[in-house]
């Protein structure tokens, strides 16, 4: 199923807020299976002040966090739950993280997460982040539900 979610709907499905909300739009989603989202990387991001002052680079851990947030949106939508109901999906683990390209201001991260398996309240997903079709980051993510 194709699905589009704007920032207003994303805010319903993620407890994160500025400056830690790292998804701007969901382009497509198949509940229980996959999600594609966008993150517009702007020079106004707070972390660019110190990472690095003379050559701003998006920290790799924040690219991974953006993938984890995409995974959380997929989990919430797939289980018909909301953070406002006391349900939280936590980033519980990461394996095989690799960084292939620097992400800079002006780039648009194309985030893709796909369910590898889900059992009870634990989800394992494959995540990839692209800039202009070029792989920037890949990892396996673990998400666990509490509440």
What span, in angstroms and rounded, lies between the C-alpha atoms of 48 and 116?
33
Q: Where are the alpha helices (DSSP H) in 1-147?
A: 7-13, 60-79
Residue 2 pLDDT > 90, yes or no? no
Judge whether 96 counts as a catalytic residue: no
Residue 1 pLDDT > 90, yes or no? no
Name the active-site residue from 8, 16, 18, 51: 51
User: What mean pLDDT is reported for the chain?
Assistant: 96
Percent of the chain past pLDDT 70, that is, above it, reads 99
Backbone angles phi, psi at 64, to 5 degrees: -65, -40
Burial class (CB in 10 A: 0-12, 13-18, 19+), 96: exposed
Strand-strand pairing, 108-119 and 88-99: unpaired
What span, in angstroms and rounded, lies between the C-alpha atoms of 127 and 138?
6
Mean pLDDT of 49-65: 96
């Amino acid at each position: 199923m194709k699905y589009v979610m704007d920032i207003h709907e994303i805010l319903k499905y993620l407890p994160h807020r500025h400056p830690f909300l790292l998804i701007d739009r969901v382009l497509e989603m198949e509940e229980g299976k996959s999600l594609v989202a966008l993150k517009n990387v702007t020079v106004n991001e707070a972390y660019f002040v110190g990472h690095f002052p003379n050559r701003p680079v998006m920290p790799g851990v924040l690219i991974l966090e953006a993938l984890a947030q995409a995974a959380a949106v997929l989990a919430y939508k797939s289980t018909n739950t909301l953070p406002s109901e006391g349900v939280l999906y936590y980033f519980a683990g990461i394996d095989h993280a690799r960084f292939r390209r620097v992400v800079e201001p002006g780039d648009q991260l194309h985030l893709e997460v796909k369910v590898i398996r889900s059992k009870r309240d634990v989800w394992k997903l494959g995540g990839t982040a692209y800039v202009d079709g070029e792989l920037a980051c890949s990892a396996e993510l673990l998400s666990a539900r509490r509440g």
